[in-house]
Amino acid sequence: MEVIKTVDLTKKFGSFTANKNINISVLEGEIKAIVGENGAGKSTLMNMLYGLLKPTSGEIYLRGRLIHFNSPDDAILNGIGMVHQHFKLVPSLTVYENVLLGVEINKEVSIGNKKFKTFKVDQKQELKLVNDLIEKYKFNINANAYVKDLSIGAKQKVEILKMLYRNVNILIFDEPTAVLTPQEIEMFYETLRELKACGTSIIFITHKLGEVMDIADSVTVIKSGEVIDNLLVKDTNNKHLAQLMVGRDVLMHVEKKYKDYSNASVIYEVNNIKTKNKWGLNCVDDVSFNIRQGEIVGIAGVEGNGQSELVDIISGILKVTDGCIKFNGNDITNFWPDKLRKNKIAFIPEDRYEQGLCKEMTISENMIAGYHDSPDISKYGFISMKKRLQKSIDLINKYDVRVSKIEGLISSLSGGNAQKVIIAREFSSDPDLIIASQPTRGVDIGAIEFIHKSILDLQEKGKSVLLISSELSEIMSLSDRILVMYKGKIIGEVMGKNATREEVGYLMMGITHSEENTNG
């Protein structure tokens, strides 16, 4: 039986169509995967099903009944729940308090035969209900623990419990494995199977095809806001899905010339660096690698394995507790960001609007940030407005940034164009080394091509690049050498020219060659 069916579901934001005539159906008790690249429109679709967004046109049917949700509350009342990628839990409350948040049970007292509600929350009763639920779904989690003390996998379970407690029988997961470790992913699969066995229908959004093959029953491929295909998992494979997802293989158009860099001089050297996060855990643990002149080194890995912290160290905003970093033979360990830039290292940060750009400032102000004391625009500590504007116009033209107003705010630009502002600023500083972290995250395909081409152009000029990305295909198509990060360590190195997805994929899951051999 179809539990959810959409008919020509369309969502427009202004002139931009995020979803166009989407037709999908989800069967009772099945696990449905929705796959697509970043920005393909998966989240928009899910937000419509969950009542967070209202469709521009089209219909949603729930068990054959036409529905209109005004809010997530409506969706939950109708049995549709969602587990977001970023958990919405309260760290200082316990597991059971989080599960019953918003639907607390008040203690009752009986006087004679009459029952009265008191103001006191009935914690005993709540704990019992949650424990029953945990038992039913075999969740193996302590209902009395504080959420702040839980692992990420356990937090995800709390989110699921929240939904199950509200009698949800259709669960939507938004990129559920992005933040999980490989072991936790295994456990998450277990959870999904358990839920399925109890009759829950599951929809999960992902861009990792391995997961689709592992756990889903059926799959819908979305590209540029449209459904490309609906398939049963048993009738398809990784490669086929990848082709559908990307359409034309964009990355194939990047012409990458592989060279042998083993004799080139080492310009950047990271030796045994370590650092701790605020919980005192070693999130970067004894990492060493080097980059040679003219080489692109890629760092692959499932997100949350220490890549962000590694980039923060390299960018000078996180200090190391141990180890050293050398650039052109000079020790630059724990240098501040401004000194790193003076040493001709440029940065494309992971979080565009947090570290890369200032949304509230103008395009031209952002174009000079970090290089605002370069002699071509400033003298004696004062910045020339005229030269700043001229530089900005030059860069906008050179890097093809589409702006409506030259002096507009960054927030008026699309993601791709905003990213181009960073690229223009950093590349034009004539760096010897570029640290590019997730350079194409959330940008459109045109911009991806442009950014990839820019990176390769830079390499042509003999510059070196460190590329950190969770998009394996990006790493594979650009890197001369691929390092894989897992649990804060570099666990393997593969040459880019002859790397295979499988090989890197295994490393990303923490399986090294020796284990692979012993296992089989």
> What residues from 70 to 89 belong to the interface with another protein (CB under 8 A)?
70-74, 77, 84, 86, 88-89
Question: Of the two residues 296 and 363, which places its CB atom closer to another protein in the complex?
Answer: 363
Tokens 């990458």, residue? Answer: 256
Phi, psi torsion values for 41, nearest 5 degrees: 110, 15
Nearer to another protein by Cβ, of 29 and 72: the residue is 72
Of positions 37, 174, 184, 312, contacts another protein by CB under 8 A: 312
Give yes or no for residue 105 binding another protein (CB under 8 A): yes
d(CA 362, CA 502): 44
Q: Does 162 bind another protein (CB under 8 A)?
A: yes
Shortest gap between Cβ of 18 and another protein (angstroms)? 8
Measure the CA–CA gap between 154 and 183, rounded to whole angstroms. 12
Q: Give yes or no for residue 119 binding another protein (CB under 8 A).
A: yes
Please give the structure tokens belonging to residue 158. 């709390």
Q: Provide, rounded to whole angstroms, the least separation between the CB of residue 285 and another protein.
A: 14
User: Is the CB of 165 or the CB of 268 nearer to another protein?
Assistant: 165
Rounded Cα distance, 251 and 243, in Å: 12
Using the rule CB under 8 A, is 102 a contact of another protein?
yes
Instruction: List the one residue from 53, 219, 466, 508 that touches another protein (CB under 8 A).
Output: 53
User: Closer CB to another protein, residue 37 or residue 309?
Assistant: 309
51 near another protein, rule: CB under 8 A: yes
**CA 377/CA 375 separation, integer angstroms:** 5
Count of residues of this chain found to bind another protein when the rule CB under 8 A is applied: 89
* Cβ distance to another protein smaller for residue 245 or 401: 401
Q: In what order do the strands lie in the sheet with 266-276?
A: 282-292, 266-276, 322-327, 330-331
Cα 62 to Cα 60: distance, rounded to the nearest angstrom: 7
Q: Residue 433 Cβ, how far from another protein at the closest point, in Å? A: 15
Cα 298 from chain centroid?
Answer: 17
Q: Is the Cβ–Cβ distance between 344 and 431 less than 8 Å?
A: yes
Q: Convert residues 3-22 into a mask of x (bound to another protein by CB under 8 A) and - (unbound).
A: ---------xxxxx-x----
The residues near 169 (Cβ < 8 Å, ≥ 6 apart) are 3, 79, 199, 200, 201
Closer to another protein by CB, 114 or 234: give it. Answer: 114
Smallest separation (angstroms) from another protein to the CB of 460: 27
Considering the complex, state which of residue 36 and residue 505 has its C-beta at the smaller distance from another protein: 36
DSSP letters for 402-466: --S-TT-BGGGS-HHHHHHHHHHHHHTT--SEEEEESTTTT--HHHHHHHHHHHHHHHHTT-EEE
Complex with another protein: residue 57 or 230, whichever CB lies closer: 57
Residues 338-377 that bind another protein (CB under 8 A): 338-341, 347, 349, 351, 354-362, 365, 369-370, 372-373
How many whole angstroms from its chain centre is CA 152?
Answer: 15
The piece of 1-9, 234-242, 408-416, 438-446 that touches another protein (CB under 8 A) is 408-416
Q: Scanning residues 409 to 448, which ones bind another protein (CB under 8 A)?
A: 411-412, 414
286 with 323: CB under 8 angstroms? yes
Residue of 381, 460, 461, 520 that binds another protein (CB under 8 A): 381
Interaction with another protein in 224-283: which residues (CB under 8 A)?
Answer: 275-278, 280
Residue at token pair 């494995």: 177
Relative to beta strand 226-232, strand 218-223 is antiparallel
